[in-house]
Structure 1
Amino acid sequence: MNLVECKDVCKSYGNKQVLDHVTFTIEPGKIIGLLGPNGSGKSTIIKMINQLLTPDSGEILVNDKPLGIESKKVISYLPERSYLNFNVKVIELMDFFEDFYEDFDRKTAESLIEKLKINPKDKLKTMSKGTKEKVQLIMVMSRKADLYILDEPIGGVDPAARDYILTTILSNFNEGASILISTHLIADVEKILDEVIFISEGKVLLQQSADELRNEKQQSIDGVFREVFKC
């Protein structure tokens, strides 16, 4: 059974069609890159899976069921723009996640926070942008979810922070779960990807195993992406 099935999904804003019969699947246990230029429809797809937008037509299934309360329980979402109140302390943030999400593993979060040498009593507003991003990622990855959706998880942080974030993603996601990563920094993330989905102007161009695509094209995913999208 597929974890996520996106079938013929369309979405328009006024006269502009942003998703055009989008179809793809996500199997359990995969790390998948949702890759495309700005304005290609990546964020719209992500918002739909998270029920922040609704399709005009088509359907999205999670664990073979239409989107609803049950699917919200099994998806852990890191948005591109932070939704956190920066006036709260890290310990208060952990309290919130523990109260709100049944699958939040506080011990995991506390361990990761401690490894970063962050004082749990510090407020988020006192931290650098990179540290804020790390804290938010820790909260998201400390849930025992079926699907982790990460929208630009390494955007706007320095290379050292990127390495930390990728390591955290790899070492903490729930066994048997899947991760959907939307990013434009393909060279940084391609080493962890099992599959890629290329999307352009609201259409899926391909969904393929990362290794198969590299072997077929005899170049990196980043190289294939630049060739396809003429970057």
Structure 2
Amino acid sequence: MIELKAVTKTFGSTTALDSISTTIPEGKIIGVLGPNGSGKSTLLKMLVGLNKPNYGTILIDGKKPSMDTKNFISYLPEIDYLYPWMTIQQAADFVKSFYEDWDENKYNELMKFLELQPSMVIKKISRGMRAKAKLLLSFSRNAKLILLDEPLSGIDVLTRDKIIETIIHDYRAGDQTILITTHEIREVEGILDEVIFIRQGQVALEGNVEELRCQRQASLVEIMKEVYSHETI
């Protein structure tokens, strides 16, 4: 379980997260939604320990983000972090040297499922292929917590569909927690169990997706438009 207690994060005069408190349950797929600059990416970076709060407390299974928690977190950042001169196999060898939960069988299975080849050179493949390669490396671990920061951003519709298929294909319901930040609400609505809408660094709305849809008689896209009706998304 993830707990945020009055967490504030500032960058100079900019407040990215403003005394945010929420509890994120285990074993579900959770969407962290909001416009650019709302604090979504900052939240994921703090969970993995790349940023620390100015105030407040973050607990993952009762522990503050540290090397202990990093061992069971797989983090896919929005930036293209892969070394361009590497092949996919070299990138995989690099990642698995750091994590004991690397699963070679899963890696080989996902390689085929994503229609990738180990010999592909990162700088020579398309943006969509690189997105799938990043997903391959993230899901080839048996990580308890997976953080996906805008995994669908800027890629074609077919690749988006394949990424969604991969998330569903690999997800261990009840045993694994996945947090996804994205603007592509329509693509992910069908796989989300819970949702957290962040607005100006604070939780604007959160809850079970099916319950929210029933209560408001609206889709997630319509609910999001209502939550951010006075903002540009």
Q: Structure 1 length normalisation: TM-score?
A: 0.95
Determine the structure 1 residue equivalent to 2:87: 89
Determine the structure 1 residue equivalent to 2:125: 127
Deviates more, 1:159-168 or 1:9-18: 9-18
Query: Over residues 151-176 of structure 1, what are the superposed CA-to-partner deviations in whole Å (9 max), with x where a residue is unaligned?
Result: 00111111111111011011113451
Distance 2:2 2:95 in 1: 24
Query: Over residues 105-142 of structure 1, what are the superposed CA-to-partner deviations in whole Å (9 max), with x where a residue is unaligned?
Result: 12111222123443211211111110110011011011
2:185 aligned partner, one-letter code:
I
Distance 1:113 1:90 in 2: 10
Determine the structure 1 residue equivalent to 2:48: 50
| 1:31/1:180 contact within 8 Å kept | yes
Determine the structure 1 residue equivalent to 2:180: 181
C-alpha displacement of 1:97: 2.0
Distance 1:183 1:8 in 2: 24
Identity, % of aligned positions = 42
**1:208 pairs with 2:188:** no
**1:164 pairs with 2:165:** no
Determine the structure 2 residue equivalent to 1:118: 116
Determine the structure 2 residue equivalent to 1:17: 15
C-alpha displacement of 1:27: 1.4
| 2:116/2:133 contact within 8 Å kept | no
Determine the structure 2 residue equivalent to 1:104: 102
Change (3 A) 1:52 1:110: same
Map 1:4-83 to 2 at 5 A.
4-83=2-81
1:208 aligned partner, one-letter code:
G
CA RMSD of aligned residues (A): 1.2
C-alpha displacement of 1:44: 1.0
| 2:114/2:162 contact within 8 Å kept | no
Distance 2:171 2:190 in 1: 16
Change (3 A) 1:226 1:123: same
1:22 aligned partner, one-letter code:
I
Deviates more, 1:143-152 or 1:108-117: 108-117
Q: Structure 2 length normalisation: TM-score?
A: 0.94
Determine the structure 1 residue equivalent to 2:222: 223
| 1:214/1:221 contact within 8 Å kept | yes
Unaligned runs of 5+ in 2: none
| 1:196/1:210 contact within 8 Å kept | yes
2:202 aligned partner, one-letter code:
K
